[in-house]
């Protein structure tokens, strides 16, 4: 067989192999075997030295022609295979834009946070400052400065968690009163503040008691502050929270740090006073404790009770939330069950 015939056979056989190549790796292998330095075409070109001077250029030109032909065939096949790989990937990764999107759960503020902020807004609107108190407090501020000396029987109702003999986690937000009063400069105006936060008692947890709950302390001290100011202020708060028709009533009570002290009831927002399960058929709902700041509490904070007077109140936002939303177990607020909390997501 002449060199030219050999080249012709090689061209046909290789062409078939290239066409049959199923993937890029196989194609590359064919290319290296046929067109590489150790391939048959290079071998033919090397063997040309044995040919006559007349034949040499013809065979050489033919060999080059075949090499170019096969190189082009490999390139064409390569493009074809690459396109097939691309088409397959595109088909597999196709996005169906008509499918519904994945739901991303959006959180919301805790129902108690919402109530706290609502009450803060009411008082900020009346010129009150919002003060943050300490959750870890000393016996001195938590009890003694609130007129509860060491042997005072009212301490029993406020047993709590002690860190040491003199350090505890606060049982009420009232110690903030002492801390604010002793620092207040009355030459810059009256003292008006509220202080929301967590308080802690050694209560056995049940539907209406939790060892941790919230209070919002309120305090106003100035010259000529009277019980009428207290009543008016609380009335505004209750009307903003429970509706413009709400009335309040004050009942005598006792707290060591106020004198006189009152329990404050609000007319039932559900039945309007006719009687229902929310107000236990009395028409009134017990909502907070308040009173005029005890003269001794003022004195202990360096304020002259002959010159200044003030009122204080404490409201439980947990109870407000329970009343407003008909929640009958305070523990629901602290269990973080999303099924419960998501009902209060708001807008
Ligand atoms: Zn009622």
Measured in Å, residue 285 CA sits from the centre of ligand 1 at 8
Is this model's pTM higher than 0.85 or not? no
Q: Is 206 inside any structural domain?
A: yes
In which residue are the tokens 């004198």 written? 259
Residue 54 lies in a domain: yes
In a domain, 272, yes or no: yes
* Cα(279) to centroid(ligand 1), Å: 4
**Residues 171-181: pLDDT tens digits?**
999 999 999 99
- Overall domain count for the chain: 2
pLDDT surpasses 80 at 278: yes
- Confidence (pLDDT) at 38: 83
Task: Say how many Å lie between the CA of residue 322 and the centre of ligand 1.
Answer: 14
The CATH number assigned to the domain holding 135 equals 3.30.930.10
Distance from residue 234's CA to the centre of ligand 1 (Å): 19
**79/194 same-domain check:** no
Confidence of residue 261 (pLDDT cuts 50, 70, 90): very high
How does pLDDT run across 81-137, given as a tens digit for each residue?
999 999 998 888 888 888 888 888 888 899 999 999 999 999 999 999 999 999 999
Q: How high does pLDDT run on average in the chain?
A: 91
Q: What is the mean pLDDT of residues 130-146?
A: 95
pLDDT band, residue 205 (cuts 50/70/90): confident
Same domain, 119 and 82: no
**115 CA to centre of ligand 1 in angstroms:** 21
To the nearest 10°, report the CA torsion of 236, 239, 241, 243: -160
Q: Nearest-CA neighbor of 318 among 296, 343, 288, 280?
A: 288
Mean pLDDT of the region 289-303: 97
Residues spanned by the domain of 143: 111-344
Q: For tokens 């060999």, what's the residue?
A: 63
In a domain, 99, yes or no: no
33: Cβ–Cβ under 8 A, 6 or more apart, which residues?
39
Residue 100 lies inside a defined structural domain of this protein: no
Distance between CA 166 and CA 324 in Å, rounded? Answer: 38
Q: Report CA(310)–ligand 1 centroid distance (Å).
A: 32
Got the DSSP string for 183-200?
A: T--GGG--EEEEEEEEEE
Q: Please determine, for residue 347, whether its predicted confidence score (pLDDT) is greater than 70.
A: no
Q: How far is the CA of 208 from the centre of ligand 1 (A)?
A: 19
Judge whether residue 30 has pLDDT over 70.
yes
Asked whether residue 102 is domain-assigned, the answer is no
> Of 43, 61, 92, which marks where a domain is finished?
92
- Find the mean pLDDT for residues 225-237: 96
Lowest mean pLDDT among 46-60, 201-215, 326-340: 46-60
Q: Are residues 200 and 270 in the same domain?
A: yes
Residue bearing the bigger pLDDT, 305 or 31: 305
For residues 67 and 160, state if they share a domain: no
Same domain assignment for residues 170 and 295: yes
d(CA 327, CA 316): 14
Tell me if 132 sits within 8 A of 197, measured CB to CB: yes
Q: What is the per-residue pLDDT for 59?
A: 82
Residue 141: predicted pLDDT: 96
Q: Which of 88-97, 153-162, 288-297 has the highest mean pLDDT?
A: 288-297
Decide if 190 is inside a domain.
yes
User: At which residue do the structure tokens 């015939």 appear?
Assistant: 5
**Residue 328 predicted with pLDDT over 70:** yes
Segment among 55-59, 68-72, 75-79, 301-305 with least mean pLDDT: 55-59
Residue bearing tokens 């030459």: 187
Q: 323 C-alpha to center of ligand 1: Å?
A: 10
The answer for residues whose C-beta is within 8 angstroms of residue 161's C-beta and 6 or more apart is: 168, 169, 200, 202
Quote the CA–CA distance of 171 and 217 in Å, as a whole number.
12
Q: Is 83 among the domain residues?
A: yes
- pLDDT for residue 346: 67
The closest of 147, 144, 151 to 168, measured between CA atoms, is: 144
């Amino acid at each position: 067989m002449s060199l030219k015939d050999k080249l012709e056979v090689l061209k046909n056989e290789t062409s078939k192999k290239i066409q049959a190549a199923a993937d890029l790796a196989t194609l590359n292998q064919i290319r290296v075997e046929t067109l590489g330095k150790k391939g048959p075409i290079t071998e033919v070109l090397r063997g040309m030295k044995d040919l006559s001077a007349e034949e040499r250029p013809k065979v050489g030109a033919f060999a080059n022609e075949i090499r170019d032909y096969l190189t082009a065939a490999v390139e064409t096949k390569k493009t074809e295979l690459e396109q097939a790989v691309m088409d397959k990937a595109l088909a597999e990764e196709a996005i169906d834009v008509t499918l519904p999107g994945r739901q991303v759960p959006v959180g919301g503020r805790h129902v108690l946070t919402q109530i706290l902020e609502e009450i803060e807004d009411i008082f900020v609107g009346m010129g009150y400052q919002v003060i943050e108190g300490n959750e870890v407090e000393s016996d001195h501020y938590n009890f003694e400065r609130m007129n509860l000396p060491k042997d005072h029987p009212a301490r029993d109702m406020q047993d709590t968690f002690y860190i040491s003999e003199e350090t505890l986690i606060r049982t009420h937000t009232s110690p903030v009163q002492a801390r604010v009063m002793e620092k207040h400069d009355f030459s810059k105006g009256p003292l008006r503040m509220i202080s929301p936060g967590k308080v802690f008692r050694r209560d056995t947890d049940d539907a209406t008691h939790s060892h941790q709950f919230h209070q919002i302390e309120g305090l106003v001290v100035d010259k000529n502050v009277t019980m009428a100011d207290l009543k008016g202020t609380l009335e505004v708060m209750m009307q903003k929270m429970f509706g413009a028709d709400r009335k309040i009533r004050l009942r005598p009570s006792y707290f060591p740090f106020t004198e006189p002290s009152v329990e404050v009831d609000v007319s039932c927002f559900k039945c309007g006073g006719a009687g229902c399960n929310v107000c236990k058929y009395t028409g009134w709902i017990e909502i907070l404790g308040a009173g005029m700041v005890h003269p001794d509490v003022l004195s202990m904070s360096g304020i002259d009770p002959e010159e200044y007077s003030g009122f204080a109140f404490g409201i439980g936002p947990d109870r407000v939330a329970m009343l407003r939303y008909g929640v009958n177990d305070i523990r629901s607020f602290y269990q973080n069950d999303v099924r419960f909390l998501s009902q209060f997501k708001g807008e």
